[in-house]
Amino acid sequence: MRKDRIRIIAAIGIVLVFAGLVSVMHLGSAPDPSASTRFLARDLEETGASNRVAGVYLNYRLFDTLLEVLVFSVAVLGVRHYLQQSEGMELPDLSESEVVRTAVIFLTPLALLLCAFFAILGHISPGGGFAGGVIAASGLLYVAIAYGMRAMEKRLNPARLVRAEEAILLALLAFVLLPMVFGRTPLSDLMPKGTPGQLLSGGSILVYNILIALKVLVGAWAVIAAFAQHRGEL
């Protein structure tokens, strides 16, 4: 059909123009490293976190990270709201499979342990709250696959999960505003900077990592549960 041909030509045209623009860029030359070396020289004393990336997004750019948590929450809200209207089918129960059940028995605790590791040691070793929360949510998904969504719902009541999510969000907000109680500006460090590499270093990064991990865990599980219960015709 004509429309299809126009579409194909337009797509290839766009990509060709794009390739043309890219080809005149200086892709080979390395960017100027002076900014980052200057930054890396100072940031250990300022943040106290030996994971520089965590130092950036949980200290210098904390505001961005909090807003990103907000975006995540809004997406979870949207998914839950819009999927409620669609009819759906439930996740089939694979519990007859011994293989699945055996695998779940050691996979899920591993996933939850990894979540705790990433959340608590996020300022010393790579990971961080986001990855931890997502890993824990997928650990819960293994259990749902093995034992069925109804068993999960009995233990993780959805209404209580919504309230838990709200509570964590409020806790995050409270911790952001807490420094004002002590006469400092919000978002500043409350906890000791310590020596980098220790558990109690990095200021409030530790607390933020834990709170974010919890928030993402509950949020990602809400999304997974919503998709698992409304499987639709797709």
> Which residue reads 């919504």 in tokens?
162
Q: By CB under 8 A, what part of segment 160-179 binds other proteins?
A: none
Q: How far is the CB of 174 from other proteins (least distance, A)?
A: 22
Nearer to other proteins, 135 or 152 (CB): 135
Alpha-carbon span 231 to 234, nearest angstrom: 8
57: amino acid identity, one letter: Y
Which C-beta is closer to other proteins: that of 124 or that of 207?
124
Select 44 or 151, whichever has its Cβ closest to other proteins: 44
Q: Considering only residues 100 through 119, tell me which ones interact with other proteins, judged by CB under 8 A.
A: 118
Judged by CB under 8 A, the number of residues near other proteins is 72
Residue 94's DSSP bridge partners are: none
- 47-66 residues near other proteins, rule: CB under 8 A: 50-57, 61, 64-65
Which residue reads 């591993």 in tokens? 110
**CB of 2 or CB of 183, closer to other proteins:** 2
Nearer to other proteins, 60 or 173 (CB): 60
- Going by C-alpha positions, the residue among 8, 218, 204 that lies closest to residue 123 is 204
Beta-bridge partner residues of 196? 198
Q: Does 10 bind other proteins (CB under 8 A)?
A: yes
Residue among 110, 113, 126, 170 that touches other proteins (CB under 8 A): 126
Candidates 26-34, 162-170, 173-181, 182-190: pick the segment binding other proteins (CB under 8 A). 26-34
Q: Cα(13)–Cα(211) distance, rounded to whole angstroms?
A: 47
Residue 194, phi-psi category: left (phi > 0), alpha (psi -120 to 50), beta (remainder): left
**60 and 204 in contact (C-beta within 8 Å)?**
no
Residues 6 or more apart whose Cβ sits within 8 Å of residue 75: 223
Instruction: Identify the residue among 5, 22, 24, 182 touching other proteins (CB under 8 A).
Output: 22
What is the b/e burial string over 173-194, where b = at least 16 CB atoms within 10 angstroms of the residue's CB?
A: eebbebbeeeeeeebebeeebe
According to CB under 8 A, which one of 5, 20, 24, 33 is a site residue for other proteins?
33
CB closer to other proteins out of 207 and 216: 216
| Stretch of residues binding other proteins (CB under 8 A), selected from 22-30, 155-163, 169-177, 203-211 | 22-30
Q: Can you tell me the distance from the alpha carbon of 112 to that of 92, in angstroms, rounded to the nearest whole number? A: 24
Contact set for other proteins, span 131-160 (CB under 8 A): 131, 134-135, 137-138, 141
Answer yes or no whether residue 97 interacts with other proteins by CB under 8 A.
no
